Structure 1
Amino acid sequence: MRVLVTGHQGYLGTVMVPALQAAGHDVTGLDSGLFADCVLGPTPVDPPSIRMDVRDVTEADLSGFDAVVHLAALSNDPLGSLAPQITYDINHHASVRLARLAKDAGVRRFLYASTCSVYGSAGETLVTESAPLRPLTPYAESKVRVEDDVAAIADSGFSPVFLRNATAFGFSPRLRADIVLNNLVGVAVLTGEVRVLSDGTPWRPLVHAQDIATAFTRALEAPIEKIHCAAYNVGTETNNVTVAQIAAAVAAAVPGSTVAITGETGPDARSYRVDFSAVRAAFDGYEPRWSVADGAVELYRQYTRWGVSEADFTGRYTRLIHLEKLRAARLLDSSLRFQPIEAGHG
């Protein structure tokens, strides 16, 4: 299958592309390059690609593809809260526009990377895909809007599927340090302390980046009529854990580290446990392979192998700070588009 992956130079995209290629798909990437240099270790080998902001895609760019895997987004809650309009422009408006153009170009399958954050605060109950959606951030709200708007244009020739990923973790050659397990392991490696700023009680569903890639691969392979316009939670119930449990797994993985639960930010309103039975049924018994404990060990080994520095961990690998640095260097304009490179003079 000929597949276009938007955001192929991001944290998930860098893991997703090799998985799709290994399954025999012909992959092309599309990315503006915002996070292309956020590399820890050897620079990954990218597929043939289109360097383009997702807001600028045309129907011609999508012609000839069998499927679009849409990952490109501003995927960070603090960033979304700081610049909500840009978040909506990129995550909502550009995503719906992309889906419409894909449909017009004859693309049959549209795989959308949504999030379990759409459930917001759901307490102790295991939430299924039919649970009420209570997004608490502009990022999560944008995902809900895309699901609604893209579902509205589905028909016999255009089949979207909405993959609501649990909170991602695990090593990617293009690292993110601003997701919970990745962050706690990095801080423990750098400081010897697993520092939890909340009270540690909120529930989080976690899933490894490689297991997300497997779910998307299965979605491409599933009978189109079986998954047409459906939403699936991506993860496993065994990785429904509290933040305090995540911290304990990190302390076990990082030698000599200790846990400090400060509670200084107060209770986090986002707390939810998720039911993943639908994705197992739809994708031939799909089951994530990575536990939180295994992911903590993997991250510790990779951080120490490649020598992650405090400057990079809190800068290059943290989405909001990285984008602020690009803007301060005048490489990005106010809409987070790359500025044109001015020609030299003599």
Structure 2
Amino acid sequence: MRVFVSGHHGYIGAALVRLLRRAGHEVAGADMYLYDDCTYGAPDAPLVTGIRKDIRELEASDLAGFDAVMHLAGLCNDPLGDLMPEVTLEINHEATTRLARLARQAGVTRFIFSSTCSVYGAAGEDWVSEESQPRPVTPYAVSKLRAEEDLRRLATDDFSPVFLRSATAYGLSPRIRFDLVVNNLTAYAVAKGQVLLKSNGMAWRPLVHIEDISRAFVAALEAPRDTVHCEVFNVGVTTENYLVREIAELVEEAVPGARIAYMDKSDADRRSYRVDCSKIASKLPRFRPQWSVPRGILELYESFSNVGLTVEDFEGPKYQRLAHLKTLMSEGLVDERLRWAPPVAPVFPAGPLI
């Protein structure tokens, strides 16, 4: 199939395009390339043709001829959402709805939306499933839930939205995120010898590797329409739910010499939820996750050790999303609505893009 991936140059997108191509699909994408200077490791080899375009500026003609849209682009975490709640809603909610309308207009038949288990928000000790009442507690989670609601209203016999609520991601990527709990704790362990907890560690998190998230997208793409039309799937493995403190203990075991430490005034995290992922296992049998948190920690430990990762790297503008965007804004490259600010928008060479 011909697949259009928004955010193909991002944290998950970089892994997803590889799996799509490996599965034999033709892939193109769109991305703002806000984090082009944040590449972790060696530069990417060109994999897909992409357009450098804000999703708020895409047109139906950009989507013509594609069988499916996989929509990943957006503001991707709670700190960004808390800093810019209005912009978060504009991009994650309003622009998503607009993109779906354009896709339907262009004749795209399947729209696979990258949602989040964060919509469950404050479930506490209770297990949640796709039938549970969402309880979002952050602007980021609210924006995703509102987008789901709008997309459902756009469904027709010829246009099938699919909602993939991914568990908290982890794993290596050229656009790695260090704000994610497994990545962050392992980074601190390698760089500082401390598994630094910024809460009391008693919140629950479902966890899933970005390669397994990508496998869920491919499975949702290849499944029969009746299986996925307007369906919500929690993406992960039910056994991969952990207390944050348990994650820290696994990191402590994996990284020689590392010890758990707590920040001063470590409070409880109001985001706490345990997620049942049995639906995706039963309805999408081609989704076969291959990662566990202990294995993922070892992958991260080896990579971070090899590159000599420092705290300044992952807490500063080199890799940290929020710090990087603040730098772009302070330099006048990006405006307050997170658009490239003319006339100083970067000039990129023509030709195949990553």
Q: Which residue number in structure 2 is paired with residue 182 of structure 1?
A: 183
What is the deviation of 1:306? 2.4
What is the deviation of 1:308? 2.3
Q: Which residue number in structure 2 is paired with residue 6 of structure 1?
A: 6
1:302 aligns with 2:303: yes
Contact 1:119 1:133 in 2 (8 A): yes
Q: Deviations over 1:81-131 (max 9, x none)?
A: 111000011000000000000001000010000000000111222211010
Q: Which residue number in structure 2 is paired with residue 317 of structure 1?
A: 319
What is the deviation of 1:309? 3.2
Unaligned runs of 5+ in 2: 346-354
Which is further off, 6-15 or 121-130?
Answer: 121-130
Distance 2:119 2:248 in 1: 24
Percent identical among aligned pairs is 50
Distance of aligned partners of 1:169 and 1:155 in 2 relative to their CA distance in 1, 3 Å threshold: same
Distance 1:155 1:299 in 2: 43
* One-letter amino acid of the counterpart of residue 10, structure 1: G
Q: How many residues align?
A: 343
Distance of aligned partners of 1:279 and 1:263 in 2 relative to their CA distance in 1, 3 Å threshold: farther
1:204 aligns with 2:205: yes
Q: Deviations over 1:165-210 (max 9, x none)?
A: 0000011121111111101111111110001021111000000000
What is the deviation of 1:245? 0.4
Q: Which residue number in structure 1 is paired with residue 107 of structure 2?
A: 106
Q: Deviations over 1:30-69 (max 9, x none)?
A: 0011122221111112410011000000111111111000
What is the 5 A alignment of 1:38-187? 38-46=38-46, 47-187=48-188
Distance 2:60 2:109 in 1: 14
What is the 5 A alignment of 1:243-262? 243-262=244-263
Q: Which residue number in structure 2 is paired with residue 233 of structure 1?
A: 234
What is the deviation of 1:262? 4.2
SS state of the match for residue 281, structure 1? helix
Contact 1:186 1:303 in 2 (8 A): yes
SS state of the match for residue 81, structure 1? helix
Q: Which residue number in structure 1 is paired with residue 351 of structure 2?
A: none
Q: Which residue number in structure 2 is paired with residue 26 of structure 1?
A: 26
Q: Which residue number in structure 1 is paired with residue 352 of structure 2?
A: none
* One-letter amino acid of the counterpart of residue 216, structure 1: F
What is the deviation of 1:342? 5.0
SS state of the match for residue 36, structure 2? coil
Q: Which residue number in structure 1 is paired with residue 333 of structure 2?
A: 331
Distance 1:147 1:265 in 2: 33
- TM-score, normalization by structure 2: 0.94
Distance 2:170 2:337 in 1: 28
What is the deviation of 1:330? 1.1
Distance 1:198 1:67 in 2: 40
Contact 1:200 1:244 in 2 (8 A): yes
Q: Deviations over 1:210-242 (max 9, x none)?
A: 000000011111001111010000001121000
SS state of the match for residue 154, structure 2? coil
Q: Deviations over 1:111-159 (max 9, x none)?
A: 0000000001112222110100100000000010010000001011100
SS state of the match for residue 242, structure 2? strand
* One-letter amino acid of the counterpart of residue 153, structure 1: L
Contact 1:2 1:67 in 2 (8 A): yes
SS state of the match for residue 337, structure 1? coil
Q: Which residue number in structure 2 is paired with residue 268 of structure 1?
A: 269
* One-letter amino acid of the counterpart of residue 179, structure 1: L
